[in-house]
A and B are shown apart, each in its own frame.
Chain A
Amino acid sequence: MNVIVSYGTYIPYWRLDRSKIGEAMGTFGQGTRAVASYDEDTTTMGVEAARACLAAAPEGVKVGQVLFVTTEPAYLDKTNATAIHAALDLDPGAAAFDMIGSVNSANGAMAFATFAAMPTLVVLSDLRTGLPGGADEAGGGDGAAAFLYAPDGPALLEFLGLGVSTAEFLDRYRQPGDDHSRLWEERFGEHAYTPLAEQAVAEALKSAGVGPADVDYAIVTGVHPRAVRVVAKSLGVGKEALVDDRTAVIGNTGAAHSAIVLADLLDRAEPGKTILRVTLADGAIATVVRTTDALVDWRSGRASGSSVADQIAAGRTDLSYPKFLTWRGQLDREPPRRPDPTAPVAPASLRKEPWKFAFHASRCEECGTRHLPPARVCVKCGAVDRMGEERLAETTATIATYTVDRLAFSLSPPVVAAVVDFDGGGRFRCEMTDVDPDSVAIGNRVGMTFRKISTVNGVHNYFWKARPLTEGEK
């Protein structure tokens, strides 16, 4: 059996203040929701969460498979986990699978990872919205989490018990290709979910050998907000044990949500604490786990700025509602009088895969000069085919010069671009993202982030952009 040895999360930079929806649509809204930027999708957010997870993983854990969970896959027919696999620079011998379509797939992937015979990386990423003015639009959120399961530990959590109750009923559903879900009447969902949750929780506590009073923290999430509230109250745990599910700030992040809330709790929980985690999605699943001493050690070794709270704090709340609708494809705005972006072609993308996805530079073995993109002939010493490859995705850089392009095509003009010089050598000119154009200056520090440059003719052009390092990361 595998145990959780590392995790990471990704809360996107942008927040939509729900009062802005209210102003436009005449509805009531308070708090914010997390919003994936125009250049993000579930695959790119998954990559970011997984990078944070692997950066904090114990040495020597070799990922044997990646499981990718989302209700909003970037591609159908084509595996999305392969792009994550490639961006993480995993060994070709590691498998990559999608478990897509429903929020409950998250539980499936985590259970599958627990019982897998190899170290398994579970990446949960979701992008949630609904029709303009509706509850799903305001209440949804975007984000990702990744959990690494390995046989030898050190375990961040001790597994105590599991309870499952599965049922077929119509509460929330969506046809493939639809841009929003449909929901049955709200009170019906409460009626259907409540007994399922009671049954799963009872079984989980029983198999863990603990009672409700022993529960230090309870996490209840799910696809039905009203049922979540009712179930949380009926657990019999102390009110102080109920964990803030962060929906007031980031919204409900669907298939990623339970994992993000768990990560947020693990960011601060003491060792020896019992956690009951309940998910309501087409039935109910409850798990009971206990935090370990190893969790504290693991946290102390993690990069600063990587907690859920840090990522929430780094967010920016001035996103306008029309911009949000544009990013979600629900507002078709007049484009600039410029050609559409071009789609990358398959053969070149395959040839350049270590560059395009894993962000490999080449380094001259004769004189040490780095080249981005990888080159065969050294620009400094002229040596031919004397290059070694190295990954620069995790290397920070400094802005050498920059511009704000108001003419280039973008879903979110203006395009900010910078020439960045990497620590240890190498220069690249690339787009910047999650950046305030007015704050860009020569000498600013940046890191790389995996993004979607454009989508043309059904092809997502994934590549890396630079983003400012957050205060927590500096």
Chain B
Amino acid sequence: MASKGIRDRVAIVGMGCTQFGEHWDKGAEDLLVDSATAAFDSAGVTKDDVDAFWLGTMGSGISGLTLSRPLKLDYKPVTRLENMCATGSEAFRNACYAVASGAVDTAMAIGVEKLKDSGFSGLVVSRPPDDGSAAELSAPALFSLLAPAYSKKYGVDKDELKNVLTRIAWKNHKNGAVNPRAQFRREVPMETIAASPIMAGQLGIFDCSGVSDGSAAAVIVRAEDAHRYTDKPIYVKGLSFVAGPAAGAIDPDYDYTTFTEVVRAAEDAYQQAGVEDPRAQLAMAEVHDCFTPTELVLMEDLGFAERGTAWKEVLAGTFDLDGDLPVNPDGGLKAFGHPIGASGLRMLFECWLQLRGEAPPERTIKSIAAGKKLALTHNLGGSPGECVSFVSVVGSEPSA
């Protein structure tokens, strides 16, 4: 058994993405109208041309009414779904399958999150009533568990690892500084990042992604119809989604230096897309840098670096905007912000811009001009040891 995939059977023909950040003057419904309208315009369609909708939001609304009401949809099917921080990617995946199946001609995947209305610092997740035995740790604390384990396993001392994590944050802020849609649009000196107030473990405030409001959307059609909408469609090469058995949290064999779920999702997506050497073949990657140690570990899990070497590659600038394999050229969750339900689609939005040559010159990656035509998005939900993971590969050309 293996997932067959839907390589080159569907394509993105329009996308929209709001600015991410503190939208005190906009509710989730406004953000949805903004991103949906931008995506319709981008594809040259109206809401009536779209046959079905997949709405991803973790907590900014329930049911399809969250979308149909503000857009005043004409009695269309709207699926509202949630898969933790991978919610936006999950909306995209399901919309792609609907089109690939032939059930609909045109689908929209849209994600939104309105986090800044909660009044709390950081992310707030409600959980069902329980016996109270699960430790209620913050998200930075859960991801900070990676740092001492990585240090220990690969003999990277604490201070050196802090330099590595700092450089990841610095790189993403640098990229975000030239992205008008990003929540944080200024470079941050490494000294400032390294000295920022500690949130959990080794992680300072600058090691954490931005808590923000935002929305992003994509219009998806069958690949053979794509050129009716745009000259430069983006083809879906591989889509993989994995929900782990949450083994790491209970199994001493798990060592907190990897996400098994990511490894498995990446293998599946690469196989679907025919990617054999991701480091060489991919023009860029948008990965789930919710916290800096996450991005470090992902570089190994996604096959961009050998085990135990990503920290060196980070320091060498391999994943910088002008590096071998640019990672998070849009600033990532770190600088672009992380409105949960929107983030997976925001990652695709950057692939859409870069692969189509529409990114602003100051953050255009060189690999596209060099002939690379594939981009990857990676989206994660949960925490080390118990998570869900999504990996997609998209490309600017159908396979020969």
Contacts and interface: CB of A to CB of B under 8 A. Distances in A.
A400 B248 CA distance: 11
B152 interface: yes
Contacts of B357: none
A343 interface: yes
Contacts of A428: 250
A427 B251 contact: yes
B149 A442 contact: yes
A356 B131 contact: yes
A463 B131 CA distance: 9
A403 B131 contact: no
B122 A407 contact: yes
Interface in A364-394: 369, 371-373, 375, 379-380
A355 B131 contact: yes
B371 interface: no
Interface string A187-208: 0000000000000000000000
Given A344-B132, A404-B201, A417-B135, A429 B148 contact: no
Interface residues of A, number: 50
A421 B250 CA distance: 9
A419 interface: yes
A68 B211 CA distance: 48
Contacts, number: 130
Q: How large is the interface on B (under 10, 10 to 19, 20 to 34, 35 or more residues)?
A: 35 or more
Given A351-B131, A356-B132, A426 B121 contact: no
B361 interface: no
Interface in B243-302: 245, 247, 249-252, 254-256
A415 interface: yes
B251 A341 contact: no
A93 interface: no
B199 interface: yes
A317 B136 CA distance: 28
Nearest to A443: B152
Contacts of A407: 121-122, 138, 140-141, 199-200
A345 interface: yes
Contacts of B142: 403
B353 interface: no
B149 A338 contact: no
Nearest to A372: B250
Contacts of B131: 344-345, 348-349, 351-352, 355-356
Contact of B252 (A341, A373, A415, A425): A425
A401 interface: yes
A134 interface: no
Q: Which of B149, B247, B251 has the most CB of A within 10 A?
A: B251
Contacts of A296: none
28 contacts: A337-B120, A338-B120, A338-B121, A339-B120, A339-B124, A341-B136, A342-B136, A345-B130, A349-B131, A355-B131, A371-B250, A400-B252, A400-B255, A401-B145, A401-B149, A403-B144, A405-B200, A406-B198, A407-B200, A415-B135, A415-B137, A417-B135, A417-B137, A421-B252, A426-B252, A429-B385, A431-B135, A463-B132
Interface of A: 336-339, 341-345, 348-349, 351-352, 355-356, 369, 371-373, 375, 379-380, 400-409, 414-415, 417, 419, 421, 425-431, 441-442, 453-454, 461, 463
> 10 closest pairs, A vs B, by CB?
A344-B132, A405-B141, A407-B138, A345-B129, A403-B201, A461-B132, A352-B131, A421-B252, A348-B131, A401-B149
